[in-house]
A = this chain, B = another copy of it.
Amino acid sequence: MSEAATRKRGRGAGGGAARRAERSAVSFETARFITRNIPDFEVLTPEAIEIIESNAEILLQEIGVNFVENPEGLQRWRDAGADVDGERVRFPKGLVRGLCATAPASFTQHARNPERNVEIGGRNLVLAPVYGPPFVRDAAGGRRYATLADFQNFVKLGYMSKWLHHSGGTVCEPTDIPVNKRHLDMLHAHMTLSDKPFMGSVTEPSRAQDSVEMCEILFGKQFVQDNTCMVSLINVNSPLTFDATMIGALEVYAANNQACILSPFIVGGAMAPVSVAGTLTQVLAEVMVGVAYSQLIRPGAPMIAGAFVTSIDMNSGAPTFGTPEAAKITYGAGQLMRRLGLPYRSAGSFCDSKLPDAQAAYETANSLNAGLLAGVNFMLHACGWLEGGLVSSYEKFVMDADQLGVLHGLAAGVDISENGQAMDAFREVGPAGHFLGCAHTQANFKDAFWRTEIFDHKPFETWFEEGSRDTQTLATALVAKRLAEYRQPDLDPEIAGNLREYIATKKASMKDAFS
């Protein structure tokens, strides 16, 4: 495919034969981020958009939002012309939308390997892995608390995934490391085990500051001030509440010109009304306030407008995924965010299943398809999510990552060139013939169709003889193969040493904290 920019790698100290063996065994290809050559699917009529945008303004005028334990933030809002009453902030019509205008419609996130830079916004889609689970699961070990070793494994798998453009952030929580030191080890893993772009810490403003400082070591101090080297995830405490921790991290990143995803986190029916239009109204209001606030910190700070929205199972209270309501919100929020002129984050490999089984795959595919067609620009959780986000699944990581290739193929649209029209093939083959051997097929078959790296297309008998393996079993084998083939990307030894030293010094200055 044209969007797959092969990246040849010249590592290995062995002789020519060893290098050839390495090249033949290992594929380190990473596809270029997706640039859509297809339209967006729009579920909202112009009238519906008008109603929702108007209702969001009414919400912000009449009800407002809470800025919790953040006197400086409240003062910023007062200075900007908002009405502040205790921790409640209400906004004159148009204020926050107007403030959003200085946030860029599109920006570059730099990777330490410039070939891996990504453009976030416009017609682009950048894919990043699962974020946040405290548990991991694989077929051999079952479900267990995640460790730093798991974290490193997921970074390696992400690095080796052709269709994943981004290394992500908390690919799982390394629960064997104290809470106040984890971010250092997580960033270190992203910076050294991969050369794809990554995310910073948001669990404390001081950890955001550490993330910036580690980036300064990796990229250079001035480069970080002039360029965006991190995208970090700031969740709104929906409904309509902005807490001091997350907003404190946002303040650090915005001040340093680093990007944040400002994302309502909504289980519909609990943190938002049970209706799609009501939820979209709330998402829009919350995003506008958060993005506007970032522009009060530093006009022009890069932001991504997020929508993490699930529905709820009214029997168990559990969040549900891959539902029609979630899809409609994903489509609708895309329209609203494009009108705000902001890059858009939504969708992912969402599922509620406990296993990487059919339920997981239906739910995930529903969300991935919606995300592509909704015009999402940054898709966090694009692979590896299991059990409502409690679990990072090894097998599902590679299964989902394979499916991301489907999104690349679909986004490429229809080739209508003379070669794409294939009229010569018809002239060669005619009625009742077959096309397998014709010149057009021979010239095009290698790149014509997306190819899975995991699914089984063998005849039944072969499949049966090979052990009647299901998708999970095939995925277990692929995970093992990938981790065995992994090679660390080069990094300047001086930078590597400085990172190690920074982390050691930081850790020595802290007592362990586990909450």
Spell out A's residues near B (CB within 8 Å). 38-39, 41-45, 47-48, 51-52, 55, 58-59, 62-66, 88, 143, 237, 239-241, 268-278, 280-282, 311-318, 320, 322-325, 327-328, 332, 352-366, 369-370, 373, 387, 390, 396, 399, 403, 405-410, 412-416, 419-423, 425-427, 429-436, 438, 440-441, 444-446, 448-452, 454-460, 463-464, 468, 470-472, 475
Q: Are B63 and A430 in contact (CB under 8 A)?
A: yes
Interface pairs (23), CB distance under 8 Å: A48-B414, A239-B429, A240-B432, A269-B436, A274-B435, A276-B420, A278-B426, A278-B440, A314-B446, A318-B459, A327-B406, A352-B457, A357-B358, A357-B471, A358-B358, A358-B471, A362-B362, A363-B455, A365-B365, A366-B369, A366-B406, A369-B370, A390-B460
Given A320-B457, A431-B63, A441-B274, A421:B51 Cβ within 8 A: yes
User: Complex Cα distance A190/B9, Å?
Assistant: 61
Given A274-B441, A471-B357, A373:B323 Cβ within 8 A: no
Q: Are A456 and B353 in contact (CB under 8 A)?
A: yes
Q: Are A426 and B51 in contact (CB under 8 A)?
A: no
List residues of chain B with CB within 8 A of the CB of A322: 365, 406
Q: Which of B143, B312, B405, B438 contacts A449 (CB 8 A)?
A: B312
Nearest Cβ distance between residue A505 and chain B, in whole angstroms? 39
User: Complex Cα distance A472/B359, Å?
Assistant: 9
User: Complex Cα distance A314/B413, Å?
Assistant: 21
List residues of chain B with CB within 8 A of the CB of A45: 416
List residues of chain B with CB within 8 A of the CB of A143: 460
Q: Which of B65, B359, B405, B455 contacts A471 (CB 8 A)?
A: B359
List residues of chain B with CB within 8 A of the CB of A459: 316, 318
Residue of B nearest to A39 (CB): B42
Given A323-B450, A432-B240, A364:B366 Cβ within 8 A: no
Q: Are A387 and B460 in contact (CB under 8 A)?
A: yes
Q: Which of B356, B425, B427 contacts A62 (CB 8 A)?
A: B427
Given A352-B455, A430-B63, A273:B325 Cβ within 8 A: no
Given A143-B460, A362-B365, A416:B311 Cβ within 8 A: no
Residue of B nearest to A409 (CB): B324
Nearest Cβ distance between residue A74 and chain B, in whole angstroms? 14
Q: Which of A315, A409, A444, A457 has the most CB of B within 10 A?
A: A457
- If A63-B426, A353-B455, A364-B365 are given as contacts, then 10 extra A-B residue pairs at C-beta distance below 8 Å, sorted by A number, are A39-B43, A239-B429, A239-B430, A269-B441, A272-B435, A322-B365, A323-B449, A323-B450, A352-B457, A354-B468
Nearest Cβ distance between residue A146 and chain B, in whole angstroms? 15
User: Complex Cα distance A228/B390, Å?
Assistant: 52
User: Complex Cα distance A405/B362, Å?
Assistant: 12
User: Complex Cα distance A45/B421, Å?
Assistant: 14
Residue of B nearest to A470 (CB): B357
User: Complex Cα distance A390/B278, Å?
Assistant: 45
